[in-house]
Amino acid sequence: MTEPQWNLEPKFDFVDKHRVATNKKCSLAKIDTETNGPFEGKDHGRAFTHQAVIDIRDLQYKMFTEGKQSLLVVLQAPDAAGKDGLIRKVLGQMNPQGCRTYPFKVPSAEEAAHDFLWRVHKCTPAAGKVSIFNRSHYEDVLVVRVEDLVPKSEWQERYEIINGFEKLLAHRGTQILKFYLHISPEEQLERFKKRLDEPTKHWKLNAGDYEARDKWPQYREAYEDVFEKCNASYAPWHVIPADKKWYRDASVAAIVRQTLQEMNPQLPSIDADLDEIRRLYEREAAELAAKKN
Ligand code: ADP
């Protein structure tokens, strides 16, 4: 049987479709958690992702050799929305020499003894590199707000501080891309069940996940505030329909690829004398051939 010929360049603007509009209240309830986008189905989406990941790798290679710009990808989501899967299947496919993932958990005692950006700043990408944040500084206006971990007067000031921080990163050549994986409570429960049924996933089980489900509306409100207050052009938010894993992967891959294309990294120009190097090579090759004969 021959492979179907999928259209791997569908006319569909993923950025435009999923980018959160600026300076406007975003209502998550009005955004679908499930879509096929331009794809005929799962196999089509997966074929698209496969090609997009290859393109992302090529572009990352150029950015790495160029050594000037950098990319920061921020992932936020409810539990089981698929941050880990997305990293494994799409973002983590980049060359690890130039790309690193940083998970942000409950702050350690040392981290908690500093300002909330202290642990974050040192994980931002150097020139030519990519950092992936699995959770991020946004937890400091999400879980911290919903769980009442610091007074309102304190977390309220953080939006502006975050904007300043992200502006600083952009100022030195870091493109920031932020993704919220938008999953429905029904799909989340389904995935919790799969974790229960699958012994190799038991390590992921956590009674706290059910407490967070009770606070779904509070988290939703906290996210909507983040989208409204921290969504500058140099650090845009995207809401990704994530009930279908293959669509989540395809749309994030498309947006990362498009962003890297727009950054337009260039292989460095070379100072070396190519003719001279070719001459040296030919001399070595001739000597080796002569030895063999
Ligand atoms: P994940 O759910 O990302 O796979 P974990 O199950 O270890 O990883 O959860 C990490 C936890 O750390 C989350 O519940 C998250 O809300 C919490 N966390 C992250 N950053 C902070 C923070 N700044 N303050 C309090 N809790 C945080």
Q: Residue 261's domain is classified under what CATH number?
A: 3.40.50.300
Q: Which residues line ligand 1 (CB under 6 A)?
A: 79, 104-107, 134-135, 139-140, 143-144, 149
Nearest-5° angle of CA 284, CA 288, CA 293? 150
The Cβ of residue 283 has, within 10 Å, a number of other Cβ atoms equal to: 10
Q: Running DSSP on this structure, what letter comes out for residue 241?
A: E
From atom 10 of ligand 1, which residue's Cα is the shortest distance away? 105
pLDDT at 251 over 90: yes
The answer to whether residue 3 is domain-embedded is no
The answer to whether residue 7 is domain-embedded is no
Quick one: average pLDDT of 173-197? 97
Quick one: average pLDDT of 272-283? 96
Rounded distance from Cα 139 to ligand 1 centre (Å): 7
Ranges of beta strands (E only) in the chain are 70-76, 99-103, 130-134, 174-182, 237-241
Residue 23's pLDDT is: 73
Give the pLDDT band (50/70/90) at residue 1. Answer: low
Secondary structure class of 190 (helix, strand, coil): helix
Rounded distance from Cα 134 to ligand 1 centre (Å): 9
Secondary structure class of 13 (helix, strand, coil): coil
Rounded distance from Cα 154 to ligand 1 centre (Å): 19
Q: Which of 133, 135, 206 to mutate to test the pocket of ligand 1 (most atoms within 8 A of CB)?
A: 135
Give the pLDDT band (50/70/90) at residue 114. Answer: very high
Out of 133-137, 140-144, 210-214, which region has the weakest mean confidence (pLDDT)? 210-214
Task: List, for residues 44-57, the tens digit of each pLDDT value.
Answer: 999 999 999 999 99
Q: How many domains does the chain have?
A: 1
The answer to whether residue 9 is domain-embedded is no
pLDDT at 225 over 70: yes
Nearest-5° angle of CA 22, CA 73, CA 39? 75
Quick one: average pLDDT of 127-142? 98
pLDDT, averaged across the chain: 96
Please give the structure tokens belonging to residue 252: 């994030």
Rounded distance from Cα 209 to ligand 1 centre (Å): 11
Annotate 77-91 with b (16+ C-beta within 10 A) or e (fewer).
Answer: bbbbbbbbebbebbb
Rounded distance from Cα 210 to ligand 1 centre (Å): 14
Q: What is the pTM of this model?
A: 0.95
The answer to whether residue 50 is domain-embedded is yes
Rounded distance from Cα 59 to ligand 1 centre (Å): 31
pLDDT at 274 over 80: yes
pLDDT at 220 over 90: yes
Residue 28's pLDDT is: 97
DSSP per residue, 66-126: H-S-EEEEEEE-STTSSHHHHHHHTGGGS-TTSEEEEE--SPPHHHHTS-TTHHHHTTSPP
Domain range holding 214? 14-292
Question: Could you identify the atom of ligand 1 that is nearest to the CA of residue 140?
Answer: 23
pLDDT at 199 over 90: yes
The answer to whether residue 76 is domain-embedded is yes
From atom 2 of ligand 1, which residue's Cα is the shortest distance away? 79
Give the pLDDT band (50/70/90) at residue 167. Answer: very high
The answer to whether residue 100 is domain-embedded is yes
Give the pLDDT band (50/70/90) at residue 200. Answer: very high
Please give the structure tokens belonging to residue 209: 């996940």
pLDDT at 252 over 80: yes
Contact present, 252 and 240 (Cβ < 8 Å): yes
